[in-house]
Copies of this chain bind each other. A is one copy, B any other.
């Protein structure tokens, strides 16, 4: 079992990724896909007159401030556009893809972050009314049933709170929890960089291998969104996933290259 996280950053080649995925699935490989949607949500929220707002917490993690209007746009873009078009693309490649969000059949349950403490212009602030969540549980049995029926799940990063609210969740960390829940051997995270770099964006400082112990240190030097991917990798290993691979989603064979060890292999 492999879980594949596809990033939404510009340059990521969905055609070659889907072709690689279709090839592997036709050879009997079980695959679960998880996608993001941050970049496209930014574009569409701006067009709809509700531009995105990002906040940074006290430990340096950046996240989207998700009021109810943002949540609905996020759901619309990730579950409606990105998910549906990814399912379409996979179906066209011969994969019997099946799109779902964490709300469907209570696939992903999360704890809503009722108050987020942020730092803005050096000042500490508390934001409420945010619809962001931290995943607590993934229904692996539901995914396994779908896979056993010959379907390939494609998951949008939305989860359900205990009170039945839709929540925006981080897609990298969602992929980590999904990988743990389906007992995946590997979690592949494709993005628009070749992997984790010691000094971003100097590609000559790409780290080919990283131990579980080395991850802690990596959180401090990882840049921007890579911080969450490192955190996701750490969570995946903690949940029993043997290997996490950060690799380049822009190449002719992104998934095959990643599985051949190109990028940053963490184990």
Residues of A within 8 A of B (CB): 44, 47-49, 72, 75-81, 83-85, 87-88, 91-93, 96-101, 103-106, 142, 145-146, 149, 151, 158, 160, 163-166
Q: How far is the CB of A265 from chain B (nearest CB, A)?
A: 33
Residues of chain B contacted by A103 (CB below 8 angstroms): 84, 87-88, 91, 97, 99
Query: A164, B99: Cβ atoms under 8 Å?
Result: no
Determine which of B48, B98, B142, B163 lies in contact with A92 in the assembled complex, contact meaning CB atoms within 8 Å: B163
Residues of chain B contacted by A98 (CB below 8 angstroms): 100, 104-105
| Most chain B beta carbons < 10 A, residue from A84, A85, A146 | A84
Residues of chain B contacted by A149 (CB below 8 angstroms): 105, 142, 145
Residues of chain B contacted by A88 (CB below 8 angstroms): 103, 160, 164-166
Determine which of B49, B75, B97, B164 lies in contact with A104 in the assembled complex, contact meaning CB atoms within 8 Å: B97
Query: A84, B79: Cβ atoms under 8 Å?
Result: yes
Q: Give Cα A103 to B77, complex, Å.
A: 17
Query: A77, B75: Cβ atoms under 8 Å?
Result: no
